[in-house]
Amino acid sequence: MIWEVFRQEKPGDYHTHCGNVHAPDREMAKQFAVIQHGRRKPTESLWVVPQEEVGEVDADEVAFGGTTDKSYRWAMAYTSSTEHAKEVIASQQEQEQAEADRQRGDD
Amino acid sequence: MAATEIELTPDQRLALETELRTLADDEFVLAERYTEWQVHAPTLESDLALANIAQDELGHARLWYDLLEELGYDETDLLWERDPDTFRHATLSELPFPEGEWADAIVRSYLFDVAEGLRLESLEESAYPAIADRVGKIQREEGYHTEHAENWLERLATDDEGGDHLQAAVDRLFPHALALFVPTEPVPFGAETVSGDGAGSQYTDTDALPDAATVEETIVAEGYRTDSLATLGERWLDRVVPTLESHGLRTPVPADGEITDELVPDACGRNGRHTDDWDTLYADFTHTYRELGREDATMIMDRPE
Amino acid sequence: MDVETVKERAGPREFSPADDMPEKYRKAATRMIQFHANSEIMGAYLEKPFIRQAPSIDRKLAFSAKVQDEIGHGQLLYRAAESLGIKTREEMLDELANGEGKFLNCFHYPMESWAEVPMIAFFVDGAAMRRQATLKSSSWEPYAHAMDKVCFEEGFHVKHGEDIMARMATGSRKEQQMLQDAFDEWWPRIIQFFGPTDDKSTHHDFSAEVGLKQKTNDELRNAFLDAYVPKAKSYGLEIPEYPRIEEVGDGEYHVEEDDLDWDEFFTVSKNEYEPGKGQIDSRKAAQEAVDWVRDTIEGDANLPGSQAAPAAD
């Protein structure tokens, strides 16, 4: 069976998908993943998940974030002031980045 | 193309306004009700999902109201200072949710979303280009809504108690859902929207307006909507009745499938008659606007394209 | 791992469910994160009526989105709390319903008018964001991860709240007066958001030693005043005379704590404030009214994707 593998590079990071392995069970999936996906890249932790347990929904099936204007959800829509606490500015910058990534995906 | 570039006869404009008000009011008022589930839904995840559906519907209402704005109205005319008797949503949208009746939200959403899907299909080729242009965006979001309702319907129906709740909701809501296919009584033109030469001024007076059936004929004859409400109603019954029955739910539709006027409530919304709950809802959602003595509605977003 | 090792290793995002954490740490972290999660839910509860009462379509959309986000934050935080293995989400939500779950003082006070909206949506959210930004460095990794997403979203909330305030502050005389009245009423509560000075706070020391918490109450309150007193003034709001606030130079503030009603604060904090009890109870009624739905879907524990997933081994 196939196991999807998620790697965390260092403590505190997110586990992100990095590949998969064939293995007969969870124990062997972990052993194989250690070598196949953790032997060179910095690795703090790996997760293995049976591929058949992964549910998927993709952009053909659903319009992520909607198709009508939802700019009211974004900090950028509010322009009554330009002075903000630093964490508010940081949040807006992250949102601008996410929105830019979304727009790129639409092209 | 801007709608204002199209020259409309008073009858055309009346037909168009009637269709737009119907679409917009249904979505707005239903969204208003859906938001009641925010913070009250059965689980945190289902709370998020229904909140999103409410926002989608509000966004759709915004698109339709915006087309009315192109005909000379503004948001205050269409919502905040509007006479509540001139709202034309079907009563399905306005009924309050009995406390804890999640099945009501699901059945209502199912009945409404299937109807909306069919209505949108018959607007895809609308002779009024601005309508046709907006349909696609709405349809993409409606797909999620219908599947969401169907998924819940299926899950609740497999449980005895869930089935009882669903049946009670069908019994309560089905007549009000039939109202979705009742021709809409037109609303007089706002005096501020009638041009200097007086075109359309005859329709600023309720008594001078043609009846709902006549306006419905114009809507179809002009191709603003390509199917009649009667046709849409049949398609809707063909879809929802077998689905509900497959979940063990009974509907009030007789065996011969004939829908008679007796099945539709007297106050069905489309005819300008509403339930008492509508007055309460209207008073509540306009409360702040009146309390603050506002004269305009704050926009955050740009006008829709 | 023993407590001493935890203290030695304590650093940002240092510990995860893969670590064998001592019970003392797990309990302290659960208490802190559960409090935070409860506050998200009760904050959403407090603001919900203003979705309906928002005075324009766009405001209504924004308000719905904001309340939705707060519930989403509750979802993230209860998961982070659950990952400590002390309590399930259901137990925590039941505790909140029963009046045992504690939450922020500000969310015990009923809100009646639109003018009060910016008090929560700008000042309280602004205060919360000050704190949350520091919690991205919490030692419990799932908590820090939740904070990543919360902080990402929260900028919208604060700016939306500010936008509502800006509109009122530049509106009619009546709106300006309503805003000032709301500010007068809420200001002391907002200052109390950060709790009493550290030596009066019981749970602080251990949480700080094991890195769950990054800043002291005083530091956060100062940082808040530093950013938000000038904000209030820029909208023409007069800072109430009490509690006395003294600027001691370099953006540092000193609050005369005896000017604040700490008896009320502790009554509120123990869920014994009458109007707040009403809110807890009516939320409980709403939660119980949909018990049947949860029973229906949770009966299928062996369906794929339900919560009975195998434990990590």
* C16-46 pLDDT per residue, tens: 999 999 999 999 999 999 999 999 999 999 9
Q: Tell me if C156 and A81 make a contact (CB, 8 A cut-off).
A: no
Cross-chain Cβ contact A68/B300 below 8 Å? no
pLDDT at residue A90 greater than cutoff 50 = yes
pLDDT tens for B52-104 read: 999 999 999 999 999 999 999 999 999 999 999 999 999 999 999 999 999 99
Number of domains in chain C: 1
Nearest CA-CA distance, residue B257 and chain A, Å:
34
User: For residue B35, what are the contacts with CB-CB under 8 A and spacing of at least 6?
Assistant: B51, B54, C48, C51, C52, C60, C64
pTM of the model: 0.94
> Model confidence at C4, in pLDDT bands (50, 70, 90)?
very high
- CATH 3.10.20.520 fits domain A2-53: yes
The percent of residues above 70 in pLDDT, for chain B, comes to 97
pLDDT, position B195:
72
User: For residue C212, what is the domain's CATH number?
Assistant: 1.20.1260.10
Closest of A105, A104, A102 to residue A70, by C-alpha: A102
Of B136, B141, B304, which is closest to A66 when you measure between CB atoms? B141
* CA R_g for chain A: 20
Which of C19, C147, C158 would best serve as a mutation to test chain A binding (most A beta carbons within 10 A)?
A: C158
Within 8 A by CB and 6+ apart from C176, the residues are C168, C169, C236
> Quick one: residue B198, left, alpha or beta (phi over 0 = left, psi -120 to 50 = alpha)?
left
Q: What CATH number should be reported for the domain whose range is B11-291?
A: 1.20.1260.10
Nearest to B144 among A62, A68, A72 (CB): A62
Residue B10 to residue B199: CA distance in whole angstroms: 7
| Predicted pLDDT of residue C201 | 56
Q: pLDDT at position C298, please? A: 81
Res C65: pLDDT: 98
Q: For chain B, which residues make up each domain, given as ranges? A: 11-291
CA angle B177, B180, B185 (to 5 degrees): 135
Looking at residue A27, its pLDDT comes to 96
Distance CA A11, CA B163 (A): 48
Identify the pLDDT of residue B282: 98
Average pLDDT of chain C? 92
Partner residue facing A78 (CB), from C18, C159, C227: C159
Exposure b/e, B128-159, CB count within 10 A at least 16 = b: bebbeebbebbbebbebbbebbbebbebbbeb
CB contacts under 8 A, C 12-71 vs A, are 12-14, 16, 18, 58, 61-62, 65
Q: What is the pLDDT of residues C99-153, one digit of tens each?
A: 999 999 999 999 999 999 999 999 999 999 999 999 999 999 999 999 999 999 9
- Using the beta-carbon criterion (under 8 Å), do C305 and A85 form an inter-chain contact? no
Whether A11 sits inside 8 A of C14 (CB atoms) is yes
pLDDT of residue C202: 57
pLDDT for position B260:
84
Q: Which of residues 218-277 of C touch A (CB under 8 A)?
A: 227-228, 231, 234
Using a CB-CB distance cutoff of 8 angstroms, which residues of chain A are in contact with residue C12?
12
Give the list of residues 6+ apart from residue A102 with CB closer than 8 angstroms, or none.
Answer: A65
Those of residues 62-101 in C touching chain A at CB distance below 8 A are 62, 65
- Nearest-Cα residue of chain A relative to residue B58: A68
Three-state DSSP state, B298: coil
Domain positions in chain A: 2-53, 71-106
Domain carrying residue C113: 3-298
The verdict on a CB contact (< 8 Å) between C55 and B298 is yes
Q: Which residues of B touch A70 (CB under 8 A)?
A: 55, 59
Distance in Å, alpha carbon of B301 to nearest chain A alpha carbon: 7
Cβ separation B38–C285 shorter than 8 A: no
Asked whether residue C248 is domain-assigned, the answer is: yes
Please name the amino acid found at residue A63.
A
ipTM: 0.96
What pLDDT is attached to residue B190?
92
Q: Which amino acid would we find at residue A59? A: A
The kind and range of the H/E element at C162 are helix C141-169
Q: Which chains touch B (3 or more CB pairs under 8 A)?
A: A, C
Q: What is the mean pLDDT of chain B?
A: 95
Burial tier of A35 (Cβ tally within 10 Å: 0-12, 13-18, 19+): exposed
Among the partner-chain residues B40, B58, B289, the one whose CB lies closest to the CB of C286 is: B40
pLDDT in tens, B199-229: 788 899 999 999 999 999 999 999 999 999 9
CB of C237 within 8 A of CB of C186?
Answer: no
Is C107 within a domain? yes
- Note whether A78 contacts B: Cβ–Cβ < 8 A: yes
Residue type, A31: Q
Closest residue to A91, CB basis, from C58, C145, C151: C151
Burial class of residue C39, CB neighbours in 10 A (0-12, 13-18, 19+): buried
CA distance B303 to chain C (A): 11
pLDDT at residue C204, as a whole number: 59
For residue A106, the model assigns a pLDDT of 60
| Beta-carbon contacts below 8 Å between B and C | 143
Query: Which pLDDT score, from 0 to 100, does residue B131 have?
Result: 98
Q: Which residues of C touch B102 (CB under 8 A)?
A: 290, 293
CB proximity A55 to B under 8 Å: no
Touching subunits for chain A (3+ Cβ pairs under 8 A):
B, C
CB-CB neighbors (< 8 A) of B138 in chain A: 67-68
The first and second tokens of residue C127, run together, are 């205060």
Query: What 3 state SS string does C234-256 have?
Result: HCCCCCCCCCCEEECCCCCEEEC
Which residues on chain C are in Cβ contact (under 8 Å) with B36? 52
Does A80 lie at the interface with B, CB-CB under 8 angstroms?
A: no
Which residues of chain B neighbour C299 with C-beta distances below 8 Å?
159
Give the pLDDT score at C310: 39
Kindly state whether C208 is in contact with chain A, defined as any CB-CB distance less than 8 angstroms: no
Chain C nearest-CA distance from A11, in A, is 6
Q: What is the pLDDT of residue B192?
A: 84
For every residue of B172-199, which 3-state class applies, written as one string? Answer: HHHHHHHHHHCCCCCCCCCHHHCCCCCC
Tens-digit pLDDT string for chain B (305 aa): 444 567 899 999 999 999 999 999 999 999 999 999 999 999 999 999 999 999 999 999 999 999 999 999 999 999 999 999 999 999 999 999 999 999 999 999 999 999 999 999 999 999 999 999 999 999 999 999 999 999 999 999 999 999 999 999 999 999 999 999 999 999 999 988 887 667 788 899 999 999 999 999 999 999 999 999 999 999 999 999 999 999 999 999 988 878 888 899 999 999 999 999 999 999 999 999 999 999 999 999 999 98
